A and B are shown apart, each in its own frame.
Chain A
Amino acid sequence: MSAARDLLFKGGRLIDPSSGLDGIGDLLVRDGKIESVGGAIAAPADATVIDCAGQVVSPGFIDVHAHLREPGREDVETIATGARSAAAGGFTAVCAMPNTDPVTDNQAAVGFVLKQGKAANAARVYPIGAISIGEKGERLAEFGEMVGAGAIAVSDDGKPVVSAQLMRTALEYARTFGIPVADHCEDPTLAEGGAMNEGLVSARLGLKGIPSEAEEIMAIRDILLARRTGGHVHLCHMSTRGSVELIRWGKDRNIRVTAEVCPHHLSLTEDEVEGYNTHAKMNPPLRSQDDVEALQQAVKDGTIDVIATDHAPHHYDEKEREFADAPNGIVGFETALAVNITWLVKPGIISVATLIDKMSCAPAKLFHLPGGSLRRGGAADITVFDPTREWKVEPSRFFTKGRNTPYTGRTLTGLVACTVVDGRIVHTVKG
Chain B
Amino acid sequence: MTAPLGKDLLGLEQLTAGQINLILDTAVPLKEISERTIKKVPTLRGATIVNLFFEASTRTRISFEFAEKRMSADTVNVASAGSSVSKGETLVDTARNLEAMRIDMVVIRHPASGAAQFLAERIESNVINAGDGTHEHPTQGLLDLLTLRDHFGALAGKRVCLCGDVLHSRVARSNIWGLTKLGVEVAVCGPRSLLPNAIEDMGVKVFDRIEAAIEWADALNVLRLQLERMQAGYIPSLREYNRVFGVTRERLERAPRDVLILHPGPMNRGVEIDSDVADGPHSVILNQVTNGVAIRMAVLYLLSGNTPQLAEAAKGSA
Contacts and interface: CB of A to CB of B under 8 A. Distances in A.
- Report the interface size class on chain A: 20 to 34
B113 A199 contact: no
A204 B202 contact: yes
A211 B112 CA distance: 20
Given A321-B92, A322-B118, A203 B113 contact: no
B252 interface: no
Contacts of B196: 202-203
A205 B114 CA distance: 7
Contact of B197 (A198, A206, A322): A198
A323 interface: yes
Interface stretch (B132-140, B148-156, B271-279, B288-296): B132-140
Interface string A312-350: 000001001111110000000000000000000000000
Interface residues of B, number: 27
A361 B135 CA distance: 46
Contacts of B114: 205-207, 276, 322-324
A211 to B, nearest CB: 8
A19 B150 CA distance: 78
Given A317-B92, A324-B112, A203 B198 contact: yes
Contacts of B135: 205-207
A200 interface: yes
Contact of B112 (A198, A200, A203, A325): A325
A324 B202 contact: no
Interface in A191-221: 198-200, 202-209, 211
A205 B14 CA distance: 12
A275 interface: yes
Interface string B193-204: 000111101100
Given A276-B117, A321-B90, A323-B114, A206 B170 contact: yes
B286 to A, nearest CB: 28
Contacts of B202: 200, 203-204
A276 to B, nearest CB: 3
Contact of A203 (B84, B110, B133, B199): B199
Given A200-B202, A203-B198, A324 B90 contact: no
A320 B13 CA distance: 24
B234 to A, nearest CB: 12
A321 B91 contact: yes
A276 B132 CA distance: 12
Given A206-B132, A206-B133, A322 B201 contact: no
Contact of A206 (B83, B85, B91, B113): B113
B90 A206 contact: no
A277 to B, nearest CB: 9
Interface in B162-220: 170, 173, 196-199, 201-202
B136 A206 contact: yes
Nearest to B90: A321
Contact of A323 (B113, B136, B173): B113
Nearest to A195: B113
Given A204-B202, A206-B173, A322-B110, A275 B117 contact: yes
Nearest to A327: B85
Interface string A164-187: 000000000000000000000000
B113 A324 contact: yes
B118 A200 contact: no
B115 interface: yes
5 contacts: A198-B197, A202-B196, A317-B90, A321-B92, A325-B85
Interface of B: 13, 83-85, 90-92, 110, 112-115, 117-118, 132-136, 170, 173, 196-199, 201-202
Interface of A: 198-200, 202-209, 211, 275-276, 317, 320-325
8 residue pairs, one from A and one from B, having the closest CB atoms: A206-B135, A276-B114, A322-B112, A203-B196, A206-B134, A206-B113, A200-B198, A203-B198
Given A208-B134, A276-B117, 19 more contacts: A198-B197, A198-B198, A203-B196, A204-B13, A206-B132, A206-B133, A207-B113, A207-B114, A207-B133, A209-B197, A276-B113, A276-B114, A320-B92, A322-B83, A322-B114, A323-B112, A323-B113, A324-B112, A324-B133
